[in-house]
Each structure stands twice: as C-alpha cells, then as structure tokens.
Amino acid sequence: MIARYTRPEMGAVWTDEARMETWRQVEVAAAEEMEGPAEDELRAIRAATFSVEAVHEREKVTDHDVAAFVDVLSASAGEAGRWLHYGLTSSDVLDTALALQLRRAGAIVLPAARALVEAFAQRAREHVDTITVGRTHGVHAEPTTFGLKMAGYAFEAHRNHQRLQRAFDQVAVGAVSGAVGTYSATDPEYERRVLARLGLRAEPVSTQVVPRDRHAELLQAIALAAAGLERFATEIRHLQRTEVREAEEPFRAGEQKGSSAMPHKRNPIVSERICGLARVLRGNATAAVENVALWHERDISHSGAERVILPDSTILLDYLQHLALRLARGLVVHADRMRANLELTHGALFSQRLLLALVARGRTRDDAYRIAQAAAHEAWDRGVPLRDLLAARDDLGDLDLDAIFDVRHFVRHAAAVVARLDEIA
C-alpha cells in the first residue's frame, strides 16, 4: 500500500524485515521442539541473524525466497544451521508466519473497531432528541432524530467488530505438517508443540497449505467493515451538500484548504476517501475468494495475490477506521438546519398522520389515502402549509390538527431505541 494511506504501526507489520522475522521465529520454534539439536546448537540457532538485503541477494541465485532465507539464516548459525528447516516445507514456514503477522494486524484493527462503536454511541446519545427529516429514495419521508441515525451506525460497527474478532481468531492457525501435509518427516505432536510455542492452533488438515477459506473469511469481514464505514461516509456526503447542510466534516479554518481555486469550498474529502477506498477492499475480498480453490494438495497461485491483498487490506482498514473515528468525533451537526429542512415540504411529511386520522374516523383506507395524498401534493406544489389547507376544509370531520402535526409523535420512542446502546457500548 502506498505511504499516503499507511499508518506507521500497521505498516511495520508488513515490511520485509517483519515478514522474515516471523519466518525466523517459526524456524527457531521448530528447532527448539526437535529432538536432534544439542543445547549449544540451539543457542546458535536462536542467535542466528539475517538481513533483508542478504536474503534478496541470495534469492537471485535460488529463485526461491524461503530457500534463500534458510540459506542465510543457516550460514549465520554455523554448523548448527543444519537443523534449520529440518523436515519442514516452505508452506509450513510461510503460512504459520503469516498467521503471526495477521495476529499482529488484528491487535491493531480490533481496538479501533471497538472505538468506533463507542464514538457512534456517544454521538447518538448526544443527539437523541435532535429532530431531523428521515429520507427514503433521497426524498423527505418522516421525521426522525440524528441520534437514531448514529445509533444505527453504532450497532453496525458493533457487528463489524464482532465479525472482525471472529475472522482474526479463525485465521490464527499454523501448520507444521511437511510436504503434502502428511507429517512424513515429523508428527502431529511435534506440530502441536511448535505451534504452542508460537501461540497458534494447528490446522486440522493442512494438505500442504492452510486452507484459504480462512483468509477469504478475514477479507470478507474487512470488506464488510469498510462497507459500514462507507455507509456512514455516504450519509455525511449527502448531508454536507450545500442545499442540505445538516452536518459537515470538521474543517480547520485558517489552515485547511478545500479547493486550490475556490477559497470558499469546504468539501467532504474524508468521506469521499472512505467511499473510494472501501471499493478497493471489496475487490481484495473477491481476490481472496478466488484464492480458495488451489490445485490438489498445493499450488502457489494464491501466493502472489496474497502478498498484495493481505497487507493492503489490513493497512487500508486501519486507515479507514482512523478516518471514520475522526469524522464521528469531530462531526459538526447543524440542528437548526435540520429543523428548517423539515419545513421544505410545507407539512406534507405529516401525510401518514392525516391518513391514519381519517381512517380512525371511518374512512376506507383507499379513500383516506387519496385525500391525504392530494392535500399533501397541493401543499408541496403550491408552497401552502398542509395544516392551513386542512383547516380551510369542512368536509373532513373534526380532525385534531394539533395531534396530526405534532412532530414529537414521530420521535417519542427515540430515547428508548437509543438506550439499547447500553447493551453494546
């Protein structure tokens, strides 16, 4: 992933140095659980070092990265180096080491995913009574509260946190089962001991690789988490439109520039960035699913793609969560604009209240619907308050207009719904 979207802590997980260090940890753990090496040999193996440059130079000869790494590490260990990679195959090292890297990535992603739940919940409670218009198809529907909107994002963030937690947990498995996964040079108990040293579980049947449905599940969870952030960001983009302006991204006045040409601009650039990069994560998830079907006991068609999509996906999700937290915590809410926008349809959004009142007074539903629809459209089209139109009529019976046009009726359960956040936040 390019440096622009890489936060340092997560970027450090995926450097060549970090990747080869996990290879070293696997090789050392395997040697430590082996019966052959003497104690002085184990000390030499533990002290063995490598450099990325030396491995890359050796790979020019071997045309095989793990073999090059083993050559360099073995040379550093001296005579004891003969015990490195003993009975192992490349996938034992690569897949087990990858699980270690993914565990480190999860330790960064999961706290931020949890912080998003708290951030959304805090804004939901803050705006539980902030009345705004609810929109369906992008068109005014009925009043809701901004707190209810934010509560929905909080619960979705909670589900995504749980999904990510499960996905990172199920991918934390390794394999030390040798060529084609039959333990021909080792045994299952040896595998269990090696993986226990590394804090990993053993894949029940690894063929020669850990099955890639595990990694696909992780990238699906990452893609879903990003889609949730995109849903939130899309809402902010709509609400920040000049004609709406009910909410805005935080903007550093006097420092930040919204446009190189138009000084007045304050654009929803963070939200747009979230939406754009979420598309990349969905594409990576598709590639991960394509990696599931490998030939026979192993091929490496998954390998090249994984070197891109696993680092990029964890790096991007980490970055998107950081952006979303900044948005959620710093979002500027214009409650006055929300109330003003409620009046744009001149009361037409109270049409269901009128419909139900007419039905309650004996009208058929179809008759009541036609009356309410015609009156609402007239109010909207002519710019005349619906309440005034109804008050001027004497053919509708004794309607309680105060009750029909009481906006509090729509949001009377908002506090109870937002209180459900206590279960998760």
How many angstroms separate the CA atoms of 269 and 305, rounded? 30
Separation of alpha carbons 239 and 133, rounded Å: 11
Helix/strand number for the chain, H first, E second: 17, 6
d(CA 91, CA 19): 14
Instruction: Extract the tokens encoding 293.
Output: 């079907």
Cα–Cα distances (Å) from 70 to 24, 60, 65, 122, 382, in that order, read 9, 14, 9, 51, 80
What residues are annotated to the active site? 137, 259
Integer Cα distance of 199 and 284 in angstroms:
28
Instruction: Tell me how far CA of residue 278 lies from CA of 115, 155, 233, 318, 321, in angstroms.
Output: 19, 19, 10, 12, 11
Tokens standing for residue 405:
């046009």
In sequence order, what are the beta bridge partners of 248?
332
